[in-house]
């Protein structure tokens, strides 16, 4: 996969892309990322990428011209699936990450200030938000999406099985994990995990995942129940 990032703060990505799994993904040739400075496509001595909003109001708005110029320059080399990172977008989740992992080329456009001139929408394929809160800019959401999507690419993780059992892959949170020591200040690892009985361990993990999801994210269980009822109606069962 190749990812282009359009931002006014390109150096923010250096540390993230040079560390951990993303670094290894790049070294393995599974992922390549090119960061573009939006200011390079802005006109004027100060290379302004924002301006005051029509109609008045607080804050500044990202201008349409630099974004469009940069997108066209990027797509001269590689056509990509263009994503605008904005609080007005659809909420990013594991299902979206899986969908994006099937794309060969992705372009992430990072916003700032009060958002984009709405005419930018005409040049992108999808708007994405990472949650119901406001950040300073789109750089952290871009890093989050790159991380979540790249780990789903074949060969990125050392053990492909780990993806299958991660949180949200089956509309459940992940089950609790334990490692050595077996006894830490009187708190012991559940005996079933030391039993060697793989069927019992699998059943325990399923039960604990359900408990944790019910406690912390009951909305996921409601969503699963709705899907199940819909499937039953379709099959006539």
Strand partners, 109: 6, 84
**3-class SS at 89?**
strand
- Is 35:143 a contact under the CB 8 Å cutoff? no
Alpha-carbon gap, residue 92 to 53, rounded angstroms: 28
- Is 30:153 a contact under the CB 8 Å cutoff? yes
Which residues in the chain land under pLDDT 70? 160-169, 226-237
Give the model's pLDDT for residue 198: 97
Give the model's pLDDT for residue 45: 87
DSSP summary character for residue 170:
T
Give the model's pLDDT for residue 35: 98
Cα 188 from chain centre: 35
Q: Which residues 6+ apart lie within 8 Å of 166 measured at CB?
A: 174
Strand partners, 32: 2
pTM: 0.86
Alpha-carbon gap, residue 202 to 196, rounded angstroms: 11
Q: List, in sequence order, every beta strand (DSSP E) within the chain.
A: 2-7, 32-37, 50-51, 61-62, 81-91, 105-110, 126-129, 183-184, 187-188
- Is 125:83 a contact under the CB 8 Å cutoff? yes
| The listed CATH number (3.40.50.620, 2.60.130.10, 3.40.1280.10, 3.30.450.20) that belongs to domain 2-150 | 3.40.1280.10
Give the model's pLDDT for residue 134: 87
CA distances from 84 to 37, 103, 121 (A): 16, 16, 8
Domain spans in the chain, listed from the N-terminal domain onward: 2-150, 165-235
Task: Give the helix, strand, coil percentages of the chain, each rounded to 5.
Answer: 45, 20, 40
**3-class SS at 44?**
coil
Alpha-carbon gap, residue 7 to 13, rounded angstroms: 10
- Is 6:110 a contact under the CB 8 Å cutoff? yes
Give the model's pLDDT for residue 230: 61
DSSP summary character for residue 31:
-
Record: fold of 165-235: 1.10.1270
pLDDT digits (tens, 9 = 90+) for 146-163: 999 999 999 999 776 666
pLDDT digits (tens, 9 = 90+) for 30-82: 999 999 999 999 998 899 999 999 999 989 999 999 999 999 999 999 999 99
């Amino acid at each position: 996969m190749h990812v282009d990032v359009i931002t006014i703060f390109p150096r923010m990505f250096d540390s993230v892309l040079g560390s951990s799994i993303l670094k290894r993904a790049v070294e393995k040739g599974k992922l390549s990322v090119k960061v573009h400075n939006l200011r390079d496509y802005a006109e004027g001595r100060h290379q302004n990428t924002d301006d005051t909003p029509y109609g008045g109001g607080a804050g500044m708005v990202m201008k349409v011209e630099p974004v469009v110029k940069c997108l066209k320059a990027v797509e001269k080399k590689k056509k990509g699936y263009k994503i605008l990172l904005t609080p007005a977008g659809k909420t990013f989740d594991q299902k979206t990450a899986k969908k994006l992992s099937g794309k060969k080329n992705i372009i992430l456009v990072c916003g700032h200030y009060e958002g984009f001139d709405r005419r930018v929408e005409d040049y992108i394929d999808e708007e994405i938000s990472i949650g119901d809160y406001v950040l300073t800019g789109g750089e952290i959401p871009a890093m989050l999406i790159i991380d979540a999507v790249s780990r789903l690419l074949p060969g990125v993780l050392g053990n492909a099985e780990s993806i299958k059992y991660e949180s949200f892959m089956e509309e459940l949170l992940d089950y609790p994990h334990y490692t050595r020591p077996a006894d830490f200040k009187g708190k012991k690892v559940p005996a079933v995990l030391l039993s060697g009985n793989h069927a019992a361990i699998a059943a325990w993990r399923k039960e604990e995942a359900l408990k944790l999801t019910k406690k912390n994210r009951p909305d996921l269980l409601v969503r699963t129940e709705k899907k199940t009822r819909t499937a039953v109606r379709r099959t006539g069962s």
